[in-house]
Structure 1
């Protein structure tokens, strides 16, 4: 009954090992099969290598595979490193809601939440209401930012780590519909440079912690990475991240386009595509992370502070990196009540954010923050081709097993 995949109990003595690469070994005195495994029906077999797509089709068994087990341990270690990075700088970890009445990104790519039996949630006369249970439209959160801003006006430095949901019908190697975000908000911040440095420090601290404390799992997870990838990442993270403005990036991309590269044409005011981001990281970021700052205000959400020294741009940034693409986005927040109110009115959404305006009306302080994609960060560190192999139970368009 002792077969591959079985759960066993081994009783014996732990002794020093004479084999290279291991300190100890167990001299077994008794072996008991606690949970037999039918090898005929089990989708995995000993000493066989499987493509990620095949392994991904058995998500309930995938954690048993050596590579996925290593990823799970690395995720745990990376999460602890995130906490250490923020706690050492005086940040408080807080919890923010998954259910929210806010769509702070304003893109409309949200999942709406409704009870399965609406008649049980309200009166008979309420059945035509758009949302019976809460009395208003409610969504799965796309970001904890707005709630963090409210807490930052009390605790000054706060962060959270939690699930985020985007109803994006993007079937790419960098997109899933549910992912983990590390979000931070800090009061009394008046310079974008402060946020850039804070972001850079967190990324570097997490990577350093992983390679120093989890080297065996790192070796397993990077077995299929391009040769020298880990050394390239380490070298890149030992230097300051390159910083470029959006306008500088557009000039670089237009010059490249004029040299007959395969890049899509782009003009000032247009958003960067995936091919543009990859080109910039490769040719401007020295193969490492690259900050792009001061995007056109028309491309960014209402809450970003507009720049006073670069017209029609915001005091915001994206952090780009190989494999993961956009790892992080952040900005200084608009803290002037009158300016923010006018902006919301122009967008026709002032009635949706009365409490957000109140934060500016009563005791506001300059502040800023960022959201870091936890999964994409690991994707970059370890050259994982598809984010679905970083997330333990990935969900994407037309796929939500288990």
Structure 2
């Protein structure tokens, strides 16, 4: 039953590919980015869900803890039916003026590697966005011990701006070009995900110790001093590290532990007290939240930039190409939480998912840049040779 329902939900998801083709038909080329960006603002529905669903679930479970939750999908189903009826009765139909083609001709663009490259971009900016819309709630609850409602609010702060900013991303793509925008999106994704990699941690490592400067016998040992013959060596005693969850930067504490004994004969340069350094990083929750919101905004802009490419390169196959790109992005939303779970179990780190994001971002940027370099060498061979000679 669940498999059948999942298949039907997948059919509902194809409406996105239909909507891309339907929206692009109504607007000229210079407006494609903004139009598709506004259409894509529907992604903000993920934010609305993470914000209202936990509170609504708590409300429905107050009177019936066992079965109250069953009303939640019913409410969402009614909302979907209402929206569907509004579209049926008020939307007008329009088709692109193209010659009728066979199914094989319509699917021919899928052989183009460019489609799969766009899909890789969308896997990052949309698929990982969907994955984190689900993953951030347990992340905040486990790492920062937030309540269900507060965790849902924080997840909404990630997904809502990302959905709304998509229209602005379309405007930027129309004005500066989708390729330029994608450079900024992928670059910012690399930088922010790198900062998010660092988890809450407490590290103990070897610090500066105390070495004997002469041969001799240990004649006196105290908590703060070692005496070898007539020579005295100061020892830093261990102190309690003072840190709080509001700390932004790591806090360091160093001390020394005596490793020699009374009346022990020591030689020059022999270790008298081992140095120990403690570094504690609390991964400030508010800094983490700001970075998460920023990368969500970056991905929101990127979602519009990716779909700005499609009408430009495939003006007559917007539906099929948009559907394939959307499919790859949707797979990211499905695979992401599963993969994040495996990474968490393998490393024990909640931030391990950001390592994956960092690697995907780097891979997409290198693929895009390499493609652009190859196009420049093909289209302008003399120009690129001149640049290479002057490097």
Please give the TM-score of this superposition, normalised by the length of structure 1: 0.21
Q: Which has the higher strand share?
A: 1
Q: Which has the higher helix share?
A: 2
**Max radius of gyration: which structure?**
2
